[in-house]
């Protein structure tokens, strides 16, 4: 290789390295992404990245720009955990999305004329209202 060609290629390589390095530094200072819509992931979607702890998963999701959360199993969680989740979501400025208020897959409930079943469904809904209040769900 001739010296002139070697020097030109070395200069080009070092210039591009400096330029690309400055691009990566600039992107690190870019503002956090926030979704415009309230996309709502749920627990365990990010457990490999955010950890097994539900609060850590909420924090990870908020860091990724999510502003909402859903949890179909919220009603089955202990009350103290529900309160802890609600407090974390409030601190992270996240909204609670959907959770299952009444589940009757495979059972006939609303269309069946059985006062015992209707009373059970209504109690299930009343209990869900308390959960919704606890976790700031609308």
Q: Mean pLDDT throughout 62-70? A: 93
Is the confidence at residue 98, as pLDDT, over 50? yes
Overall pTM surpassing 0.85 (yes/no): no
Q: Are residues 65 and 122 in the same domain?
A: yes
- Tokens 């070092």 locate to 14
Q: Mean pLDDT throughout 37-64? A: 92
Q: How many structural domains comprise the chain?
A: 2
Residue-range definition of the domain harbouring residue 5 = 1-30
Q: How would you class 94 by CB atoms within 10 Å of its CB: exposed for 0-12, middle for 13-18, buried for 19 or more?
A: buried
Report residue 71's pLDDT band, with 50, 70 and 90 as the boundaries.
Answer: very high
Is the confidence at residue 52, as pLDDT, over 80? yes
Please tell me the chain's helix, strand, coil percentages from 3-state DSSP, rounded to the nearest 5.
55, 5, 40
Is the confidence at residue 99, as pLDDT, over 60? yes
Report residue 27's pLDDT band, with 50, 70 and 90 as the boundaries.
Answer: very low
Q: Are residues 64 and 124 in the same domain?
A: yes
Alpha-carbon span 129 to 109, nearest angstrom = 19
Q: Are residues 22 and 76 in the same domain?
A: no
Q: What pLDDT is recorded for position 22?
A: 47
């Amino acid at each position: 290789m001739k010296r002139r060609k070697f020097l030109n290629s070395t200069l080009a390589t070092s210039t591009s390295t400096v330029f690309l390095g400055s691009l990566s530094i600039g992107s690190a200072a870019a503002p956090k992404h926030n979704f415009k819509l309230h996309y709502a992931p749920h627990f365990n979607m990010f457990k490999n990245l955010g950890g097994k702890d539900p609060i850590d998963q909420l924090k990870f999701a908020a860091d990724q720009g999510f502003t909402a959360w859903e949890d179909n199993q919220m009603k089955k969680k202990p009350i103290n955990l529900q309160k802890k989740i609600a407090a974390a979501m409030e601190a992270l400025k996240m909204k609670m999305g959907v959770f299952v208020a009444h589940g009757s897959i495979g059972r006939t409930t609303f269309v069946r004329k059985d006062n015992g079943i209707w009373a059970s469904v209504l109690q299930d809904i009343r209990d869900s209202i308390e959960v919704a209040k606890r976790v700031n769900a609308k």
